[in-house]
A and B are shown apart, each in its own frame.
Chain A
Amino acid sequence: MKVILAPAQLKLTIQRLAHQLTEDGIDFNNTVFIGIQPRGIKFADRVVDCIRTLYPKEKVQYGKLDITFYRDDVRKEIHIPNQTTINFSIEGKTVILIDDVLYTGRTIRSALDAILDFGRPNHVGLCTLIDRRFSRELPIQPDYCGKAIDSIVTQRVTVQWDLEQVVLH
């Protein structure tokens, strides 16, 4: 098992991502952040908290999306859905999808289909903590990335929030 991001680095990375997401003059009325269930939520919570600390006067729109019903492997395995909470419109807005690990890209593909059933966003961006590069099965890349790593199919990347670290095992 290898530690890819130690606690101190993880904290800095999240802060850096929060700055990157907002540095180009973000319009909080027209931008929404959507965390992907189940594992992207903890990461998205942290990023959004950071953004709220940087901009205490702004209202940050943050929702949670479950993509279970949009998966392309429904017949292989049944997955139990989690809560989807999107209490705002995404019509004409910039949507930033937030997930912890980007691997094959299928989760994000499902998330795109799911989000398009809620409306037509102006622009969709992707923010991910770890990019398992060269492992993609679909043409999907992150716009904001914490750390890109090399990994093989037999390995797993887990974000251990209780230990505040990211491991490759």
Chain B
Amino acid sequence: MNQQGRPTRPTGGNAISTQNGLGIAEPLIFEQGQEKRCGVDLPPIPKFRERLGGLRREGTIGLPGLSEPQVVRHYTRLSQMNFSIDGNFYPLGSCTMKHNPRLNEKLARLPGLADLHPLQPVSTVQGALELIDLLAHWLKTLTGMPAVAMPQAAGAHGEFCGMAAIKAALAARGETRTRVLAPESAHGTNPATAAALGFVVETIPANAEGRVDLDVFKAKLGPDVAAIMLTNPNTCGLFERDMIEIAEAVHAAGAYFYCDGANFNAIVGRIRPADLGVDAMHINLHKTFSTPHGGGGPGAGPVVLSEELARFAPLPYVVRDDKGFRLVEHAKDAKESIGRLKGFHGQMGMFVRALAYMLSHGADGLWQVSGDAVLNANYILASLKDVMTASYAGPCMHEALFDDRFLKDTGVTTLDFAKALLDEGFHPMTMYFPLVVHGAMLIEPTETESRETLDGFIAVMRSLAEQAQSGNVELFHEAPRQTPLRRLDETLAARRPVLKWTKGQPK
């Protein structure tokens, strides 16, 4: 724990170099180049007949020229300005920042998987198709669902796939249903997806226990409801106790149950969504199965589907017959499919990593994954609830939700509290989400953190809470001070957007 009254770091770095030890100020790549410098060597260009149809680019592109050592140093320096799971405890709620095994990276780079063209003859990619089929088998077994659509590139893309399948199923029944119900704690992607598909989104309020208000929900059900989109465990980190009853009510009303599987990591290997009455659910491979987040993707969002919805699955998909594996790629061979959702066959690189993760853990390891994730979150909840305000009584699932009641009248906000954590070397929890509590702080430790790390974090959180309550507002308002940059002016960025570098622009 840092003490109050520490000196503010010098701004702008050292007077001579503008650098400051590891606190690096790194110019843009565009500010470092020189004409005729290049980081790639290429063989001589043979004599040839130009066939560009008179469309040769005129003038220069404007790219800077750098040698390999310069580029390597530039991006190494940039990397050093990032917090990461490798370097820091990163309890970002709802994001599942668990360890990313390097074995998975190694295997994804095997030439027999990474160096495959998606349109090679299928006879030359039997291993790749088998891998997709094997991953699909694991996903179906873990969820208890009969089918899975693999191509989607991320969770939101999976949501679109699942909801489009539901829309298609309704159309096949000759029905047009217009409303989709989603709890107010839902991820923003849920209403955005439903709206994109032309549905009117209606919000279900949370009850005092942070769960779907069953009475309000049942009252909203009707013959015009297409589906409910429900995250379970929900974004308050709680299991929807009434899930089976909700599913039964949804089905009785002729609607479908879409489960946002973003939090599948809390239950993987212990609870199968099929046993809860789910019709469709996406799985974020980059969360539950730890294909890395990579600073914002790439992800992968396979969707498990019920028997009824499976025939609407997108193209392409892998099938096996007596000649081996093949791809169904065309609408003529899958007349009810919703169609193609992306180029080629799916996020193969993520499939390899996810399968390596599953094989490494096995059924026993996955049982332990969800158990330890939930245990770690409850440990944090139990260790902080006397100094912070827990929004709901435990037990929680994989994440613990606090609100800002404990900061009332201190002059410290959730944002300030998060920024103070940066100075302590911890990535903050998720702030101001979910929207159902005021000044939300959502802490997701994941199963890959040791008790010692959690204890260190808990000690800092307790101390910060005490500092806030004892009136040491300065510590929070000045934070962060130990980061490469201090608080950034987001209003300025939005009011006068500068979205690219231009020549002559002030540094």
User: Does chain A bind chain B?
Assistant: no
